Chain A
Amino acid sequence: MTAPAAANAALDQTVVSLPVQETARVVRDTRPLRLITCGSVDDGKSTLIGRLLWDTKAVKEDQAASLQRDSSGKQNDLGLPDFALLLDGLQAEREQGITIDVAYRYFATDKRSFIVADTPGHEQYTRNMATGASTADLAVLLVDARVGLLEQTRRHATIATLMGIRQFVLAVNKIDLTNYDRARFDQISHEFRELALSLGVRQVTAIPVSALKGENVVYDGRASMPWYDGPTLIGVLELATTRSAQTVGFRLPVQRVSRPGESFRGYQGTVAGGSVKPGDSVVILPSGMVANVTKIVTFDLVRNAAVAGDAITLVLDRQVDVSRGDVIASIDSQPMTGLAFDAQLVALQPEGIQPGKRYWLKSGSRRQRVQVQPVSQLELKSGKWNHADELPMNAIGKVHLAFDEQAIFDTYEQNRTTGAFILIDPDTNNTVAGGMITAKRAALGGIHTEESRVILSLPADLADQLMATELFASRREDVEVRRVTAGKAVNIIDAIDG
């Protein structure tokens, strides 16, 4: 979109006139792009989103009227309304002029629809930023052009990356207050690119922005910044990609067992990876039983396939013991099961994460007891991991997880559902951390004795025969049987032989 001079002129007047209403026929052939705004306190996140809503005509007349009303008295030098008030909907936020909790808003252009989460910059509310980041496809990181990168900017960039966001827009905001200083913009962009690279992020678009005046947000800012010929914010958002489907095998975390009558037993859940069709062989974890899929039931029809994201009811060909918290997975590509894992996490509450304390861990529909051993903490300034025995609030840390019962995970990198978890403090019932699995641990530090287990990878029919024997029943603790297809078994044996 290019700025009709009239649109900008209209906004320079003290009387706020809404942009001309156009019919918004939105293309809905993709799911909406989910994005967050993040960055340090007062850098203009809420103002930017407010401006984005305003310029995409997502603000209705009655809302514009109340914005006008609420802005009066505390208007800025430019006589523009306080666009942040479109987002900061809590009384405490309005009183203090800061964002406390994440606000979700919805808007669309004629190219696509968006879900935006405006997160708070204040360090005290980092947990609410993490809430917004966990589901986002893209992060718009704001920096005040006069101030540059702060520790909080680094914290947000790091958390966003940990949570799997790989597309960043760096909005160098309040550029109007620097006299549209190009050197300043270049310097901040350079500094951020270095940070991004150190975090493993390549996809960064830096844009000089005035959120307040609406320059390079929806309309371009050529009039004030002839030196900038890159895209506007909305231009980048329209072309961004949503998180691609995960590549590992089929996963169905079982939410509940449906037994409406004697003759029907179905396993309900949302497909968390891969796909499934009738006839597929699946394994039920942690029990390791196998079965074949006979039907995929939904309200509308019996389907011939289901893919990641689908909420389904699965019917199996034999009576197996399946309950809530189990994971039904493809035989060929199973998640990891074990009693010890490595993870990274963000500590979200004042109590931090205490060593040796037993928390509840919830991942998918599975909730179990876990002991968390902090290993190291990220020093934001240097990017170094320092040894740590406990993690204070807002810390980003690496930890060991030790379970009493088998846990089932993929790495977060492979699967953002089966690799993610939250920790719940059993004393307060509050969510105290968000975490991402990085690996299964082989060495167990003597807490458990799983080292001695032998893993047998066998074709499914052989595995079943073996597990049915008396001998096996007595050695269950020592042996873990993994069912694979005959073809895969041949590969494994070949690898050992040759």
Chain B
Amino acid sequence: MPHTLPETELHNPQSTKPPLDPHLKALENEAIHIFREVAAEFERPVMLYSIGKDSSVLLHLARKAFYPGRIPFPLLHIDTGWKFREMIAFRDEMVARYDLDLVAHTNPRGAAENVTPFTHGSALYTDIMKTEALRQALDAGQYDAAFGGARRDEEASRAKERIYSFRTPDHRWDPRNQRPELWNVYNGMIRKGESVRAFPLSNWTEVDIWRYIQAEEIPIVPLYFAEKRPVVERDGMLILAEDPRLELLPGEVKREEVIRFRTLGCFPLTGAIRSEADTLDDIIAELETATVSERQGRAIDRDQAGSMEKKKREGYF
């Protein structure tokens, strides 16, 4: 007796799209392979969900990997309390629309001690509200594998990272002693307390992400599209000025400008770019002629040379 669903139930109504080009198809296949491998090999996987464009692609790929089943692991959002308002609204909408299991975690110590990007500086704030919070959440969930949306083209130390990136029980990355990783045969063997960060998007570039979002019609936070928004200029960055907790410093003025974001993080630390790109076509065209890299808008990467590697050694994603 055939064990199948009726044809109509299997046919996804979204599927009027043209097929992916071979380049994106190869990237998609690789990512799905990694998702399935981790889900099968580890006892308690979790997917880091940061609500940005890479996370949106990651989520879409996870849905594809396990279709027609549900995603067999929860999503974890490290909520610093300083995310863009639209990000949180978008997150909640995705959770409802796709019936996701979401775990949101905020560092209770940071919240109690009122750690903010304004009072503690970006480095210490990131350390407590992101890195420490992540370690807490991973420990609490006893997760042995965590998916992340990091790409090797983002930054020089990321370019060195394996697809299965091994972490010690205290979440440290040892870049000098990574396990060899040959072909697509991943070594998922770990001892209790150790874990693996898995990066299905390792080989994607920023342009690939956008072209895939367009081809697959993946929903993303509207902040990626240009619109007239209130901003202030601070330390050479354009900061979105909509949250009442942002106090203007002497000499700063709030004004309306047509801007968009190339990456999304905590609003006080994420710079907008002046851009008119309000469609995916425009964004892709803008990217293909861009003269600066995407991480330029991020305060956390500018603190010091090698700062990403340092953060990663300490357990940051």
Contacts and interface: CB of A to CB of B under 8 A. Distances in A.
Interface of A: 18, 21, 23-25, 28-32, 60-63, 66, 69-70, 86-92, 94, 100-106, 113, 115, 127-128, 130-131, 134-135, 255-256, 258-260, 263-266, 268-270, 294-295, 297-302, 309-311, 313, 315, 317-319, 324, 348, 360, 362-365, 416-417, 420-422, 424, 429-431, 434
A264 B5 contact: yes
B14 to A, nearest CB: 7
B68 A258 contact: yes
What 3 pairs across the A-B complex have the smallest Cβ distances?
Answer: A89-B156, A260-B69, A311-B32
A385 B31 CA distance: 39
A315 B157 contact: no
Interface string B1-19: 1111101001110110100
Contact of B180 (A89, A300, A313, A348): A348
A263 B3 contact: yes
A31 B37 CA distance: 22
Given A264-B3, A299-B12, A309-B26, A135 B183 contact: yes
A290 B227 CA distance: 59
A470 B305 CA distance: 72
Contact of A434 (B1, B159, B176, B182): B182
B203 interface: yes
A298 B64 contact: yes
A317 B2 contact: yes
Contact of B182 (A70, A103, A134, A260): A134
B114 interface: no
A47 to B, nearest CB: 15
17 contacts: A25-B288, A29-B22, A32-B23, A61-B292, A89-B155, A89-B157, A89-B158, A90-B156, A90-B309, A92-B175, A100-B175, A269-B36, A294-B4, A297-B10, A348-B180, A364-B185, A431-B180
A362 B15 contact: no
A339 B15 CA distance: 45
Interface stretch (B88-96, B119-127, B186-194, B244-252): B186-194
Given A30-B23, A365-B37, A311 B12 contact: no
A363 B63 CA distance: 26
B293 A63 contact: yes
A297 B32 contact: no
Contacts of B185: 362-364, 420-422
A434 B180 contact: yes
Interface in B276-317: 288-293, 295-296, 305-306, 309-310
A258 B181 contact: no
Given A128-B180, A258-B66, A270-B29, A429 B189 contact: yes
A127 B309 contact: no
Contact of B187 (A265, A324, A431): A431
Contact of A422 (B66, B175, B187, B306): B187
A431 B21 contact: no
Contact of A259 (B24, B69, B160): B69
B291 A21 contact: yes
A301 B181 contact: no
B28 interface: yes
Contacts of A63: 293
A25 B285 CA distance: 9
A90 B176 contact: yes
Nearest to B3: A265
Nearest to B19: A300
A313 B23 contact: no
A456 to B, nearest CB: 29
Nearest to B294: A60
A101 B152 CA distance: 13
Given A32-B23, A299-B67, A362 B10 contact: no
Interface string B72-114: 0000000000000000000000000000000000000000000
Nearest to B181: A131
Contacts of A70: 305
B257 interface: no
Contact of A101 (B1, B64, B175, B305): B175
B309 A424 contact: no
Nearest to B159: A103
B271 to A, nearest CB: 12
Nearest to A425: B189
B227 to A, nearest CB: 25
B24 A299 contact: no
B4 A264 contact: yes
Given A87-B159, A89-B155, A317-B2, 17 more contacts: A28-B24, A60-B293, A90-B156, A90-B157, A94-B306, A103-B152, A106-B152, A113-B23, A256-B40, A268-B36, A297-B10, A301-B12, A301-B15, A311-B32, A362-B187, A422-B187, A430-B187
* Among B14, B36, B152, B176: residue with most chain A CB under 10 A: B36
A310 B182 contact: no
Contacts of A309: 25-26, 29
Contacts of A256: 36, 39-40
Contact of A134 (B37, B158, B183): B183
A60 B189 contact: no
A343 B4 CA distance: 40
A313 B67 CA distance: 9
B241 interface: no
Contacts of B274: none
B233 interface: no
A429 B36 contact: no
B3 A417 contact: no
A103 B4 contact: no
A415 B316 CA distance: 38
B309 A431 contact: no
B214 interface: no
Contacts of A324: 40
Nearest to B63: A299
B29 A310 contact: yes
Contact of B3 (A100, A299, A319, A365): A319
A315 B7 CA distance: 12
Contacts of A60: 290-293, 296
